[in-house]
Amino acid sequence: MTFGKTLEILLVHCQGESGNVLVSGAPEIPGATILDKMNHLNDVDPSLRLFLTREPRAQVVHTTNLLLPPTRPDADAGFIVLQPDRAHPMSGSNCVCVVTALLESGRVPMVEPETLVRLDTAVGLITARARCENGRCVAVSLDNVPAFVQQLDAPVVTPRWGTIKADIAFGGVFYAQIDVDKVGLRITPEAARALAEAGMEIKSLLAEQMSVVHPEIPSLDEIAYADVPRLSAGRVDRHLHHAEAGEGGPLALRHRLLREPRDPACAGPPQGRRQADLALDHRRRVHRRDDRRDHGGGPSGGAPAHHRPGIRLRPAGTAARSGRPLRHRLRALGHLGSAGGRAMTLGGKTILVTGPTGAIGRAICVALAAEGASVGIHHGRNRASAEAILAEVGGRGFVLSADLSDPAGATALWRAA
């Protein structure tokens, strides 16, 4: 797969959860539907996904949403969730990010106080209602696709913990939930690595011992995440933290696990998982239709979800979801935009950039200087290129030389800066 030299990406967050949106520059993805296009990215050519979600452009918990023209007439736009392990069909927090990007970039006209946005996804049509004020998207609620339980108390034979039980549910993707007590761990930042390794091991065992399939979309046939939440009174308790593992390795944890419980930007699980939680609670009769659940939330002060009538799959229900987007934009290589509606400024800051004499490093220096920073421009041997960058940023900085292959050189560089 080939694509242009410039990709335009908007950096968007939903209550602290990153969900970048690729809005232009992507190649044409073969397929008549969004599902076909997702399957192409997974089964035929993953190069665009790998380019966007692996280092040095990203890291293991990174998501980039591929914005696409809709393939159905009742949708405003389509999107696919690209993550390091594979392309995924649906994510609530990423829906919020995509809606925010569409409205604030003008790709979908904004109507205050509420704009209706319909998204074409691999699992069906998602209807989003965006609350808009003063040209900004301040909150988004979603009518998600139906969630349902695949199996309760599915036995999983493990070499470390014997036979344990897992609950399998669908909430945009398939999730497996295993009580953290069954693997002898506690959900704390200190246990992050052990929790990730346990989730990865269980996910691998589930793939060997159990098959899943969506009753209406046969190509959705794998468990995407293995969770080890704390269960209480037969229901999922996510008020503190949770761990998850995909194929990304031990670091494939949602970032909230590694932060303090009091951090409001990382409270609560991703939105698609809330739908799976609701379906499991409903099946276990600890939750009734039209009940509401509040899993915590970010700056909005809470993120309720509740069942909606009109079940068309196994006993469960569709779920509504709401969240507040936090905005931060990066256009191409050179423009740093706004964060939370305020212009970002680096005035009075000195920032050291090592090895910036290539195209990417040069663009970083230009962007930092444009935001008011004094830029320390390091070079190893190419002083002329470093001085050319200094001239390009209008002299807002200084040039430093150091051999970073020598540990002493790094120390000297830092002291000089």
272-299 burial, b for 16+ CB within 10 Å, e for fewer?
bbbbbbbbbbbbbeebeeeeebebbbbe
The continuous run of DSSP H or E covering 275 comes out as helix 271-283
Separation between Cα atoms, residue 144 and residue 97, nearest integer Å: 15
Pairing verdict, β 223-227 and 174-177:
parallel
Separation between Cα atoms, residue 15 and residue 329, nearest integer Å: 15
Pairing verdict, β 304-308 and 235-237:
unpaired
Contacts of 298 (CB under 8 A, 6+ apart): 14, 15, 16, 264, 265, 266, 267, 268, 323, 324, 326
Burial class (CB in 10 A: 0-12, 13-18, 19+), 67: buried
CB 23 within 8 A of CB 8: yes
End-to-end Cα spacing for the chain: 42
User: In DSSP terms, which residues pair with 321 in a beta bridge?
Assistant: 142, 305
**Beta carbons within 10 angstroms of residue 135's beta carbon:** 11
Burial class (CB in 10 A: 0-12, 13-18, 19+), 401: middle
Residues known to be catalytic = 91
Of the CA atoms within 13 Å of residue 276, those in its CB half-sphere come to 31
